Amino acid sequence: MPLEVGSATQLDIVVEFEVDQKDLERINGTNTTYSCNGNGRAAEREGLIAINFVCNRSSKAPDVDKAMYGSTVSILKGEKLSMRILLDHSIVESFAQGGRTCITSRIYPTTAVGEDACLFLFHNATDVGITASLQTWQMSSADVQ
């Protein structure tokens, strides 16, 4: 989902994804690979979510690290996946599930600045219904004296 950010340089974004429980039960019922009973794993399939920062297009500067960073976060039964993203002109910070998992990455945009800036949020769910909610706030610069 592309977000129109206009000329904002500092954003506070909160997004929540909720999976349709009937779809989730249908999928989990057909795949025991991830089941606690199937192979002794500590979490069922719906309990772990992968989160990735894809920064390979974050800058055209040749000397900038553009590696993809990722982690997983535990989602307890009945919880929605919640993400809080803090974004400014040189850094992206993401907090999943209230801080259970955090990822920070430096970014160095050279052309996508001001009115040309854009941000995309997406999920890779294919066989389940997803409901998403999104809130954004433009933050002011800090006045440090």
User: At 100, which CATH number?
Assistant: 2.60.120.560
Q: Residue 116 falls within a domain, yes or no?
A: yes
Q: Residue 145 falls within a domain, yes or no?
A: no
Q: Residue 117 falls within a domain, yes or no?
A: yes
Work out the pLDDT band at 22, boundaries 50, 70, 90.
Answer: confident
| Structural domains in the chain (count) | 1
Q: Residue 28 falls within a domain, yes or no?
A: yes
Give yes or no for a contact between 121 and 5, defined as CB atoms under 8 angstroms apart: no
pLDDT in tens, 30-54: 544 444 444 433 334 445 565 666 5
Higher-scoring residue by pLDDT: 16, 39? 16
- Of 121, 119, 84, 90, give the one whose Cα is nearest residue 103: 84
Q: Residue 144 falls within a domain, yes or no?
A: no
pTM of the complete model: 0.67
Q: Rounded distance, CA 54 to CA 122, Å?
A: 11
Work out the pLDDT band at 68, boundaries 50, 70, 90.
Answer: low
At residue 34, φ and ψ (nearest 5 deg) are -100, 5
What pLDDT, on the 0 to 100 scale, is given for residue 76? 78
Q: Which of 118-145 are b and which e, b meaning 16 or more Cβ less than 10 Å from the residue's Cβ?
A: ebeeeeeeeeeeeeeeeebeeeeeeeee
- DSSP tag of 61: -
**Residue 114 domain boundaries:** 2-138
Strands ordered across the beta sheet of 81-87: 101-106, 91-96, 81-87, 11-19, 130-138
